[in-house]
Amino acid sequence: MTEVLLPGTRSENSKPPHVVVFPFPAQGHLLPLLDLTHQLCLRGVNVSVIVTPGNLTYLSPLLSAHPSSVTSVVFPFPPHPSLSPGVENVKDVGNSGNLPIMASLRQLRDPIILWFRSHPNPPIALISDFFLGWTHDLCNQIGIPRFAFFSISFFLVSVLQFCFDNIDLIKSTDPIHLLDLPRAPIFKEEHLPSIVRRSLQTPSPDLESIKDFSKNLLSYGSVFNSSEILEDDYLAYLKQRMGHDRVFVIGPLCSIGSGLKSDSNSIDSSLLSWLDGSPNGSVLYVCFGSQKALTKDQCDALALGLEKSLTRFVWVVKKDLIPDGFEDRVSGRGLVVRGWVSQLAVLRHVTVGGFLSHCGWNSVLEGITSGAVILGWPMEADQFVNAKLLVEHLGIAVRVCEGGETVPDSVELGRVIAETMGEGGREVAARAEEIRRKTEAAVTETNGSSIEDLQRLVKEFGKV
Ligand SMILES: O=c1ccn([C@@H]2O[C@H](COP(=O)(O)OP(=O)(O)O[C@H]3O[C@H](CO)[C@@H](O)[C@H](O)[C@H]3O)[C@@H](O)[C@H]2O)c(=O)[nH]1
Protein backbone atom coordinates (compact mmCIF):
# COMPACT_ATOMS: atom_id res chain seq x y z
CA MET A 1 0.00 0.00 0.00
CA THR A 2 1.36 3.48 -0.83
CA GLU A 3 1.43 6.11 1.84
CA VAL A 4 -0.99 8.97 1.10
CA LEU A 5 -0.70 11.92 3.43
CA LEU A 6 -4.10 13.45 4.09
CA PRO A 7 -4.16 17.16 3.21
CA GLY A 8 -4.27 19.92 5.80
CA THR A 9 -2.90 17.92 8.70
CA ARG A 10 0.56 19.44 8.98
CA SER A 11 2.41 22.14 7.07
CA GLU A 12 4.98 21.04 4.48
CA ASN A 13 8.01 22.09 6.53
CA SER A 14 6.95 21.29 10.06
CA LYS A 15 8.64 18.36 11.80
CA PRO A 16 6.27 15.42 12.20
CA PRO A 17 5.31 14.65 15.78
CA HIS A 18 6.72 11.37 17.08
CA VAL A 19 4.45 9.34 19.37
CA VAL A 20 4.84 5.88 20.86
CA VAL A 21 1.99 3.37 20.69
CA PHE A 22 1.77 0.42 23.08
CA PRO A 23 -0.93 -2.13 22.17
CA PHE A 24 -2.11 -4.96 24.42
CA PRO A 25 -1.50 -8.31 22.67
CA ALA A 26 -5.04 -9.62 22.19
CA GLN A 27 -6.50 -9.37 18.68
CA GLY A 28 -9.56 -7.43 19.87
CA HIS A 29 -7.28 -4.78 21.42
CA LEU A 30 -4.27 -4.87 19.09
CA LEU A 31 -5.99 -4.65 15.70
CA PRO A 32 -8.03 -1.47 16.39
CA LEU A 33 -5.01 0.29 17.91
CA LEU A 34 -3.00 -0.58 14.80
CA ASP A 35 -5.89 0.81 12.73
CA LEU A 36 -5.62 4.04 14.73
CA THR A 37 -1.84 4.08 14.19
CA HIS A 38 -2.46 3.80 10.45
CA GLN A 39 -4.83 6.79 10.60
CA LEU A 40 -2.26 8.83 12.55
CA CYS A 41 0.43 8.05 9.97
CA LEU A 42 -1.92 9.14 7.19
CA ARG A 43 -2.14 12.45 9.05
CA GLY A 44 1.61 12.98 9.24
CA VAL A 45 2.51 11.45 12.62
CA ASN A 46 5.61 9.28 13.09
CA VAL A 47 4.95 6.31 15.33
CA SER A 48 7.09 3.85 17.29
CA VAL A 49 5.11 0.72 18.18
CA ILE A 50 6.10 -1.29 21.26
CA VAL A 51 5.77 -5.00 20.63
CA THR A 52 7.21 -8.36 21.73
CA PRO A 53 8.75 -10.77 19.17
CA GLY A 54 5.71 -13.07 18.99
CA ASN A 55 3.46 -10.18 17.95
CA LEU A 56 5.77 -8.52 15.45
CA THR A 57 4.01 -10.27 12.59
CA TYR A 58 0.81 -8.24 13.21
CA LEU A 59 2.72 -5.07 12.40
CA SER A 60 3.57 -6.19 8.86
CA PRO A 61 0.64 -4.45 7.07
CA LEU A 62 1.39 -1.23 8.96
CA LEU A 63 5.14 -1.40 8.32
CA SER A 64 4.62 -1.95 4.61
CA ALA A 65 1.99 0.82 4.38
CA HIS A 66 4.25 3.34 6.19
CA PRO A 67 7.87 2.23 5.81
CA SER A 68 9.24 5.67 6.70
CA SER A 69 6.93 6.64 9.55
CA VAL A 70 6.40 3.45 11.57
CA THR A 71 9.15 1.80 13.62
CA SER A 72 8.77 -1.30 15.71
CA VAL A 73 10.37 -1.27 19.17
CA VAL A 74 10.80 -4.91 20.11
CA PHE A 75 11.25 -5.97 23.74
CA PRO A 76 11.61 -9.62 24.80
CA PHE A 77 8.38 -10.90 26.38
CA PRO A 78 8.93 -10.98 30.18
CA PRO A 79 8.35 -14.54 31.45
CA HIS A 80 5.42 -15.37 33.75
CA PRO A 81 5.03 -18.55 35.85
CA SER A 82 1.59 -19.36 34.43
CA LEU A 83 2.42 -18.74 30.76
CA SER A 84 4.19 -21.35 28.63
CA PRO A 85 7.27 -20.11 26.76
CA GLY A 86 6.19 -18.69 23.41
CA VAL A 87 2.79 -17.48 24.63
CA GLU A 88 2.72 -13.73 24.00
CA ASN A 89 -0.85 -13.15 22.82
CA VAL A 90 -4.20 -13.82 24.52
CA LYS A 91 -5.33 -15.66 21.43
CA ASP A 92 -2.76 -18.40 22.27
CA VAL A 93 -4.43 -19.15 25.62
CA GLY A 94 -7.93 -17.64 25.63
CA ASN A 95 -9.49 -15.09 27.94
CA SER A 96 -7.72 -16.45 31.06
CA GLY A 97 -4.46 -15.19 29.54
CA ASN A 98 -5.41 -11.54 30.02
CA LEU A 99 -4.26 -11.18 33.63
CA PRO A 100 -0.89 -12.97 33.39
CA ILE A 101 -0.05 -11.14 30.16
CA MET A 102 -0.99 -7.83 31.78
CA ALA A 103 1.21 -8.70 34.77
CA SER A 104 4.05 -9.74 32.50
CA LEU A 105 4.05 -6.57 30.43
CA ARG A 106 4.25 -4.46 33.59
CA GLN A 107 7.86 -5.59 33.79
CA LEU A 108 8.67 -3.63 30.64
CA ARG A 109 8.60 -0.36 32.55
CA ASP A 110 12.38 -0.04 33.08
CA PRO A 111 13.35 -1.20 29.57
CA ILE A 112 10.92 1.38 28.12
CA ILE A 113 12.38 4.15 30.28
CA LEU A 114 15.90 3.21 29.11
CA TRP A 115 14.77 3.18 25.47
CA PHE A 116 13.06 6.57 25.89
CA ARG A 117 16.07 8.18 27.60
CA SER A 118 18.51 6.99 24.93
CA HIS A 119 16.33 7.95 21.93
CA PRO A 120 17.75 10.81 19.80
CA ASN A 121 14.21 12.07 19.08
CA PRO A 122 12.11 10.75 21.97
CA PRO A 123 8.34 10.54 21.57
CA ILE A 124 6.23 13.45 22.78
CA ALA A 125 3.29 11.28 23.87
CA LEU A 126 2.27 7.69 24.52
CA ILE A 127 -0.97 6.04 23.39
CA SER A 128 -1.46 2.77 25.26
CA ASP A 129 -4.20 0.21 25.66
CA PHE A 130 -6.52 0.49 28.68
CA PHE A 131 -5.16 -2.88 29.89
CA LEU A 132 -1.84 -1.09 30.41
CA GLY A 133 -3.04 1.44 33.00
CA TRP A 134 0.40 1.38 34.67
CA THR A 135 1.77 3.35 31.73
CA HIS A 136 0.05 6.39 33.29
CA ASP A 137 2.73 6.36 36.04
CA LEU A 138 5.45 5.56 33.51
CA CYS A 139 4.49 8.69 31.54
CA ASN A 140 4.50 10.80 34.69
CA GLN A 141 8.03 9.54 35.37
CA ILE A 142 9.38 10.36 31.91
CA GLY A 143 7.34 13.56 31.60
CA ILE A 144 5.17 12.93 28.55
CA PRO A 145 1.35 12.80 28.36
CA ARG A 146 -0.40 9.44 28.17
CA PHE A 147 -3.51 8.88 26.05
CA ALA A 148 -5.48 5.78 27.10
CA PHE A 149 -6.84 3.84 24.13
CA PHE A 150 -10.16 2.10 24.76
CA SER A 151 -11.03 -0.69 22.31
CA ILE A 152 -14.33 -0.99 24.20
CA SER A 153 -17.60 0.87 24.68
CA PHE A 154 -18.20 3.94 26.89
CA PHE A 155 -20.85 1.81 28.59
CA LEU A 156 -18.26 -0.81 29.55
CA VAL A 157 -15.76 1.78 30.79
CA SER A 158 -18.54 3.26 32.95
CA VAL A 159 -19.49 -0.19 34.30
CA LEU A 160 -15.86 -1.11 35.06
CA GLN A 161 -15.20 2.17 36.82
CA PHE A 162 -18.39 1.81 38.87
CA CYS A 163 -17.40 -1.73 39.89
CA PHE A 164 -13.86 -0.81 40.92
CA ASP A 165 -15.19 2.22 42.86
CA ASN A 166 -17.79 0.06 44.66
CA ILE A 167 -16.03 -3.25 45.14
CA ASP A 168 -17.64 -3.91 48.56
CA LEU A 169 -21.12 -3.43 47.13
CA ILE A 170 -20.30 -5.75 44.24
CA LYS A 171 -19.04 -8.40 46.69
CA SER A 172 -22.20 -8.30 48.78
CA THR A 173 -25.13 -7.99 46.33
CA ASP A 174 -26.50 -9.91 43.39
CA PRO A 175 -27.97 -8.65 41.11
CA ILE A 176 -26.10 -5.38 41.20
CA HIS A 177 -27.84 -2.06 40.52
CA LEU A 178 -25.41 0.43 39.02
CA LEU A 179 -27.47 3.32 40.27
CA ASP A 180 -25.01 6.13 39.55
CA LEU A 181 -24.86 5.34 35.85
CA PRO A 182 -27.16 6.60 33.10
CA ARG A 183 -30.20 4.25 32.75
CA ALA A 184 -29.22 2.69 36.14
CA PRO A 185 -28.48 -0.71 34.59
CA ILE A 186 -28.79 -3.96 36.56
CA PHE A 187 -26.43 -6.92 36.11
CA LYS A 188 -26.35 -10.38 37.61
CA GLU A 189 -22.93 -11.05 39.14
CA GLU A 190 -22.24 -13.69 36.49
CA HIS A 191 -22.74 -11.08 33.76
CA LEU A 192 -20.26 -8.55 35.11
CA PRO A 193 -17.08 -8.14 33.03
CA SER A 194 -14.72 -11.10 33.65
CA ILE A 195 -12.00 -8.76 34.85
CA VAL A 196 -14.27 -7.54 37.67
CA ARG A 197 -15.32 -11.07 38.59
CA ARG A 198 -11.68 -12.16 38.77
CA SER A 199 -10.86 -9.28 41.07
CA LEU A 200 -13.46 -10.65 43.50
CA GLN A 201 -11.72 -14.01 43.60
CA THR A 202 -8.71 -15.24 45.56
CA PRO A 203 -6.00 -12.61 45.87
CA SER A 204 -3.18 -13.05 43.37
CA PRO A 205 -0.22 -10.83 42.51
CA ASP A 206 -1.69 -10.52 38.99
CA LEU A 207 -4.65 -8.63 40.45
CA GLU A 208 -2.37 -5.59 40.84
CA SER A 209 -2.88 -5.14 37.11
CA ILE A 210 -6.61 -4.72 37.62
CA LYS A 211 -6.03 -1.87 40.06
CA ASP A 212 -4.22 -0.13 37.21
CA PHE A 213 -7.58 0.27 35.45
CA SER A 214 -8.51 3.35 37.47
CA LYS A 215 -5.40 5.12 36.17
CA ASN A 216 -6.99 5.22 32.73
CA LEU A 217 -9.47 7.95 33.55
CA LEU A 218 -6.68 9.99 35.20
CA SER A 219 -4.60 10.00 32.03
CA TYR A 220 -4.03 13.18 30.06
CA GLY A 221 -6.33 12.09 27.25
CA SER A 222 -8.59 9.23 26.17
CA VAL A 223 -9.25 7.80 22.73
CA PHE A 224 -12.33 5.65 22.17
CA ASN A 225 -13.19 3.27 19.36
CA SER A 226 -16.91 3.92 19.71
CA SER A 227 -19.46 6.42 18.48
CA GLU A 228 -21.65 9.01 20.15
CA ILE A 229 -24.54 7.68 18.04
CA LEU A 230 -24.46 4.41 19.96
CA GLU A 231 -24.11 5.58 23.55
CA ASP A 232 -24.24 9.36 23.94
CA ASP A 233 -25.42 9.20 27.56
CA TYR A 234 -22.39 7.14 28.65
CA LEU A 235 -20.02 9.39 26.72
CA ALA A 236 -21.47 12.42 28.54
CA TYR A 237 -21.11 10.58 31.87
CA LEU A 238 -17.45 9.74 31.24
CA LYS A 239 -16.60 13.23 30.03
CA GLN A 240 -18.07 14.62 33.20
CA ARG A 241 -16.02 12.16 35.31
CA MET A 242 -12.80 13.01 33.48
CA GLY A 243 -13.46 16.72 33.77
CA HIS A 244 -11.71 17.80 30.57
CA ASP A 245 -12.36 17.63 26.85
CA ARG A 246 -9.29 15.68 25.77
CA VAL A 247 -11.64 12.85 24.91
CA PHE A 248 -11.35 11.70 21.31
CA VAL A 249 -14.14 9.56 19.87
CA ILE A 250 -12.77 8.17 16.65
CA GLY A 251 -14.82 5.06 15.96
CA PRO A 252 -15.85 2.87 14.42
CA LEU A 253 -12.27 2.59 13.20
CA CYS A 254 -13.18 -0.35 10.98
CA SER A 255 -15.15 2.05 8.77
CA ILE A 256 -12.68 4.89 8.34
CA GLY A 257 -11.50 5.20 4.74
CA SER A 258 -8.14 3.87 3.50
CA GLY A 259 -8.11 1.31 6.28
CA LEU A 260 -5.57 -1.49 6.63
CA LYS A 261 -8.27 -4.12 6.19
CA SER A 262 -9.12 -4.76 2.60
CA ASP A 263 -12.26 -5.27 0.57
CA SER A 264 -13.95 -8.31 -0.95
CA ASN A 265 -10.59 -9.24 -2.58
CA SER A 266 -9.57 -10.46 0.85
CA ILE A 267 -12.33 -13.10 0.88
CA ASP A 268 -11.15 -16.55 -0.18
CA SER A 269 -12.38 -17.21 -3.75
CA SER A 270 -14.52 -20.28 -2.95
CA LEU A 271 -16.25 -18.46 -0.08
CA LEU A 272 -16.73 -15.39 -2.27
CA SER A 273 -18.35 -17.32 -5.08
CA TRP A 274 -20.63 -19.09 -2.58
CA LEU A 275 -21.67 -15.72 -1.16
CA ASP A 276 -22.10 -14.26 -4.64
CA GLY A 277 -24.52 -17.09 -5.42
CA SER A 278 -26.75 -16.34 -2.40
CA PRO A 279 -29.77 -13.99 -2.35
CA ASN A 280 -29.18 -10.54 -0.81
CA GLY A 281 -29.47 -10.44 2.97
CA SER A 282 -30.08 -14.20 3.23
CA VAL A 283 -26.85 -15.39 4.87
CA LEU A 284 -26.21 -15.67 8.60
CA TYR A 285 -22.51 -15.22 9.43
CA VAL A 286 -21.49 -17.16 12.57
CA CYS A 287 -18.22 -16.37 14.36
CA PHE A 288 -17.23 -15.93 18.00
CA GLY A 289 -14.18 -13.69 17.73
CA SER A 290 -10.51 -14.54 17.88
CA GLN A 291 -10.30 -16.42 21.19
CA LYS A 292 -13.34 -18.57 21.81
CA ALA A 293 -13.61 -22.21 20.71
CA LEU A 294 -16.92 -23.95 21.47
CA THR A 295 -17.09 -27.25 23.38
CA LYS A 296 -18.23 -30.42 21.61
CA ASP A 297 -21.73 -30.16 23.15
CA GLN A 298 -22.04 -26.52 22.14
CA CYS A 299 -20.94 -27.34 18.58
CA ASP A 300 -23.47 -30.17 18.34
CA ALA A 301 -26.28 -27.92 19.58
CA LEU A 302 -25.34 -25.01 17.33
CA ALA A 303 -24.98 -27.30 14.30
CA LEU A 304 -28.43 -28.78 14.93
CA GLY A 305 -29.90 -25.31 15.47
CA LEU A 306 -28.45 -24.11 12.17
CA GLU A 307 -29.74 -27.23 10.44
CA LYS A 308 -33.25 -26.73 11.84
CA SER A 309 -33.32 -23.02 10.99
CA LEU A 310 -33.21 -23.82 7.24
CA THR A 311 -31.24 -20.57 6.91
CA ARG A 312 -28.19 -20.06 4.70
CA PHE A 313 -25.05 -19.62 6.82
CA VAL A 314 -21.26 -19.34 6.96
CA TRP A 315 -19.82 -20.68 10.23
CA VAL A 316 -16.18 -19.84 10.99
CA VAL A 317 -14.60 -22.26 13.44
CA LYS A 318 -11.26 -22.27 15.20
CA LYS A 319 -10.63 -25.55 17.08
CA ASP A 320 -14.32 -26.38 17.33
CA LEU A 321 -15.46 -29.94 16.68
CA ILE A 322 -18.01 -30.09 13.89
CA PRO A 323 -20.38 -33.11 14.10
CA ASP A 324 -19.82 -35.91 11.59
CA GLY A 325 -21.98 -35.63 8.48
CA PHE A 326 -23.13 -32.08 9.29
CA GLU A 327 -21.46 -30.46 6.31
CA ASP A 328 -23.02 -33.00 3.93
CA ARG A 329 -26.47 -32.50 5.42
CA VAL A 330 -26.35 -28.72 4.94
CA SER A 331 -24.41 -28.83 1.69
CA GLY A 332 -25.39 -25.98 -0.65
CA ARG A 333 -27.13 -24.07 2.15
CA GLY A 334 -24.39 -23.77 4.73
CA LEU A 335 -20.62 -23.50 4.74
CA VAL A 336 -18.13 -24.27 7.52
CA VAL A 337 -14.85 -22.37 7.21
CA ARG A 338 -11.88 -23.48 9.32
CA GLY A 339 -9.38 -20.90 10.57
CA TRP A 340 -9.61 -17.21 9.84
CA VAL A 341 -11.69 -15.21 7.38
CA SER A 342 -11.58 -11.50 6.70
CA GLN A 343 -14.62 -10.92 8.89
CA LEU A 344 -15.25 -7.31 7.96
CA ALA A 345 -15.19 -8.11 4.25
CA VAL A 346 -17.59 -11.02 4.74
CA LEU A 347 -19.99 -8.98 6.87
CA ARG A 348 -20.00 -6.25 4.22
CA HIS A 349 -20.99 -8.70 1.49
CA VAL A 350 -24.45 -7.80 0.28
CA THR A 351 -25.80 -11.30 0.86
CA VAL A 352 -24.98 -11.30 4.59
CA GLY A 353 -28.00 -10.17 6.61
CA GLY A 354 -27.36 -11.58 10.09
CA PHE A 355 -24.44 -12.10 12.46
CA LEU A 356 -24.49 -14.72 15.21
CA SER A 357 -21.86 -13.22 17.50
CA HIS A 358 -20.39 -13.43 21.00
CA CYS A 359 -20.69 -9.61 21.08
CA GLY A 360 -16.97 -8.84 21.35
CA TRP A 361 -16.75 -5.08 20.82
CA ASN A 362 -14.95 -5.22 17.47
CA SER A 363 -17.47 -7.70 16.13
CA VAL A 364 -20.26 -5.45 17.41
CA LEU A 365 -18.85 -2.43 15.55
CA GLU A 366 -18.21 -4.46 12.40
CA GLY A 367 -21.76 -5.86 12.57
CA ILE A 368 -23.32 -2.44 13.17
CA THR A 369 -21.43 -0.75 10.34
CA SER A 370 -22.40 -3.57 7.99
CA GLY A 371 -26.08 -3.20 8.89
CA ALA A 372 -26.35 -6.88 9.88
CA VAL A 373 -28.88 -7.86 12.52
CA ILE A 374 -26.89 -9.23 15.45
CA LEU A 375 -28.00 -12.45 17.09
CA GLY A 376 -26.15 -12.21 20.38
CA TRP A 377 -24.66 -15.04 22.39
CA PRO A 378 -22.55 -13.22 25.00
CA MET A 379 -20.11 -15.56 26.73
CA GLU A 380 -17.53 -13.75 28.85
CA ALA A 381 -15.43 -10.60 29.26
CA ASP A 382 -17.43 -7.47 28.31
CA GLN A 383 -19.86 -9.34 26.11
CA PHE A 384 -22.90 -9.23 28.43
CA VAL A 385 -22.48 -5.47 28.75
CA ASN A 386 -22.26 -5.09 24.97
CA ALA A 387 -25.29 -7.34 24.47
CA LYS A 388 -27.34 -5.18 26.87
CA LEU A 389 -26.40 -2.10 24.85
CA LEU A 390 -27.40 -3.76 21.57
CA VAL A 391 -30.61 -5.46 22.69
CA GLU A 392 -32.00 -3.19 25.42
CA HIS A 393 -30.61 0.27 24.65
CA LEU A 394 -30.42 0.26 20.85
CA GLY A 395 -32.91 -2.46 19.87
CA ILE A 396 -30.72 -3.65 17.00
CA ALA A 397 -30.07 -7.21 18.18
CA VAL A 398 -31.81 -10.23 19.64
CA ARG A 399 -30.36 -12.50 22.33
CA VAL A 400 -30.18 -16.16 21.30
CA CYS A 401 -28.19 -17.66 24.17
CA GLU A 402 -25.94 -16.53 27.02
CA GLY A 403 -22.95 -17.96 28.89
CA GLY A 404 -19.57 -19.36 27.92
CA GLU A 405 -20.46 -22.88 29.03
CA THR A 406 -24.15 -22.87 28.07
CA VAL A 407 -25.38 -25.43 25.58
CA PRO A 408 -28.28 -23.85 23.67
CA ASP A 409 -31.57 -25.63 23.04
CA SER A 410 -31.28 -26.46 19.32
CA VAL A 411 -35.01 -26.29 18.61
CA GLU A 412 -35.35 -22.85 20.17
CA LEU A 413 -32.11 -21.66 18.56
CA GLY A 414 -33.26 -22.83 15.13
CA ARG A 415 -36.62 -21.10 15.63
CA VAL A 416 -35.09 -17.75 16.67
CA ILE A 417 -32.59 -17.83 13.80
CA ALA A 418 -35.33 -18.57 11.26
CA GLU A 419 -37.61 -15.89 12.70
CA THR A 420 -34.93 -13.18 12.94
CA MET A 421 -33.56 -13.85 9.45
CA GLY A 422 -37.12 -13.85 8.08
CA GLU A 423 -40.25 -11.68 8.41
CA GLY A 424 -40.06 -11.58 12.21
CA GLY A 425 -36.73 -9.74 12.03
CA ARG A 426 -37.98 -6.86 9.85
CA GLU A 427 -38.30 -4.26 12.63
CA VAL A 428 -34.96 -4.96 14.21
CA ALA A 429 -33.35 -4.97 10.73
CA ALA A 430 -34.84 -1.55 10.00
CA ARG A 431 -33.42 -0.15 13.26
CA ALA A 432 -30.03 -1.75 12.51
CA GLU A 433 -30.04 -0.04 9.10
CA GLU A 434 -30.87 3.34 10.61
CA ILE A 435 -28.05 3.03 13.17
CA ARG A 436 -25.67 1.86 10.44
CA ARG A 437 -26.42 4.96 8.39
CA LYS A 438 -25.90 7.38 11.28
CA THR A 439 -22.77 5.63 12.57
CA GLU A 440 -21.19 5.53 9.12
CA ALA A 441 -21.78 9.27 8.62
CA ALA A 442 -19.46 10.01 11.59
CA VAL A 443 -16.56 8.29 9.85
CA THR A 444 -17.19 8.76 6.16
CA GLU A 445 -18.26 12.40 5.79
CA THR A 446 -15.44 14.98 5.76
CA ASN A 447 -16.96 16.80 8.71
CA GLY A 448 -18.05 13.57 10.41
CA SER A 449 -17.48 13.71 14.16
CA SER A 450 -14.92 10.87 14.26
CA ILE A 451 -12.90 12.36 11.41
CA GLU A 452 -12.90 15.71 13.21
CA ASP A 453 -11.79 14.05 16.46
CA LEU A 454 -8.92 12.34 14.65
CA GLN A 455 -7.75 15.75 13.40
CA ARG A 456 -8.20 17.18 16.89
CA LEU A 457 -6.05 14.37 18.33
CA VAL A 458 -3.23 15.09 15.88
CA LYS A 459 -3.48 18.82 16.72
CA GLU A 460 -3.29 17.92 20.42
CA PHE A 461 0.14 16.37 19.79
CA GLY A 462 1.22 19.79 18.56
CA LYS A 463 0.23 21.33 21.92
CA VAL A 464 1.98 18.93 24.29
O1 LIG B 1 -12.04 -15.42 11.64
C2 LIG B 1 -11.95 -14.30 12.16
C3 LIG B 1 -12.20 -14.06 13.54
C4 LIG B 1 -12.07 -12.77 14.02
N5 LIG B 1 -11.70 -11.76 13.19
C6 LIG B 1 -11.52 -10.39 13.72
O7 LIG B 1 -11.02 -10.43 15.05
C8 LIG B 1 -11.59 -9.40 15.81
C9 LIG B 1 -12.25 -10.04 17.01
O10 LIG B 1 -12.52 -9.06 17.97
P11 LIG B 1 -13.77 -9.11 18.95
O12 LIG B 1 -15.01 -9.28 18.23
O13 LIG B 1 -13.70 -7.88 19.82
O14 LIG B 1 -13.60 -10.43 19.78
P15 LIG B 1 -12.39 -11.07 20.63
O16 LIG B 1 -11.29 -11.45 19.77
O17 LIG B 1 -13.05 -12.15 21.42
O18 LIG B 1 -11.96 -9.84 21.60
C19 LIG B 1 -11.69 -9.66 22.97
O20 LIG B 1 -11.41 -8.26 23.08
C21 LIG B 1 -12.51 -7.41 22.78
C22 LIG B 1 -12.04 -5.96 22.90
O23 LIG B 1 -11.63 -5.65 24.19
C24 LIG B 1 -13.67 -7.71 23.72
O25 LIG B 1 -14.78 -6.89 23.40
C26 LIG B 1 -14.04 -9.19 23.59
O27 LIG B 1 -15.12 -9.50 24.46
C28 LIG B 1 -12.84 -10.03 23.92
O29 LIG B 1 -13.16 -11.42 23.83
C30 LIG B 1 -12.59 -8.68 14.92
O31 LIG B 1 -12.01 -7.51 14.41
C32 LIG B 1 -12.84 -9.66 13.78
O33 LIG B 1 -13.11 -9.04 12.54
C34 LIG B 1 -11.49 -11.98 11.85
O35 LIG B 1 -11.19 -11.05 11.08
N36 LIG B 1 -11.62 -13.25 11.38
How does pLDDT run across 313-323, given as a tens digit for each residue? 999 998 878 99
Report how far ligand 1's centroid is from the alpha carbon of 223 (Å).
19
Can you tell me the mean pLDDT for 202-228?
86
Residue 167 confidence (pLDDT): 86
Q: How far away, in angstroms, is 229 Cα from ligand 1 center? A: 21
Average pLDDT over residues 410-426: 97
* CB-ligand 1 contact for 366 (6 Å cutoff): yes
Identify the pLDDT of residue 5: 53
On the question of pLDDT at 195 being above 60, the answer is: yes
Distance from Cα 30 to the centre of ligand 1, integer Å? 10
- pLDDT tens digits for range 108-120: 999 999 999 999 9
Q: With pLDDT > 70 as the criterion, what percentage of the chain qualifies?
A: 94
Check pocket membership of 87 for ligand 1, CB cut-off 6 A: no
Question: For position 252, what pLDDT does the model report?
Answer: 96
Output the CA 107–ligand 1 centroid distance in Å: 26
Q: Which atom of ligand 1 is nearest to the CA of 347?
A: 33
167-194: per-residue pLDDT in tens?
888 888 999 999 999 999 999 999 999 8
Q: Residue 215's CB: how many other CB atoms inside 10 A?
A: 19
In sequence order, what are the residues at sequence separation of 6 or more whose Cβ sits closer than 8 angstroms to the Cβ of residue 76?
52, 53
Nearest CA to ligand 1 atom 31: 362
Mean pLDDT, rounded, of the chain = 93
Which residue's CA is the closest to the ligand 1 atom numbered 27?
Answer: 360
Q: According to the model, what pLDDT value does residue 266 have?
A: 82
Q: What is the mean pLDDT of residues 283-296?
A: 94
Distance 153 CA to ligand 1 centre (A): 14
Q: What is the pLDDT of residues 229-266, one digit of tens each?
A: 999 999 999 999 999 999 999 999 999 866 666 566 68
User: Which of 290, 338, 377, when mutated, tests ligand 1's pocket best, judged by the most ligand atoms within 8 Å of its CB?
Assistant: 290
Taking the centre of ligand 1 as the mean of its atom positions, its distance from the CA of residue 149, in whole angstroms, is 16
* Total-model pTM: 0.93
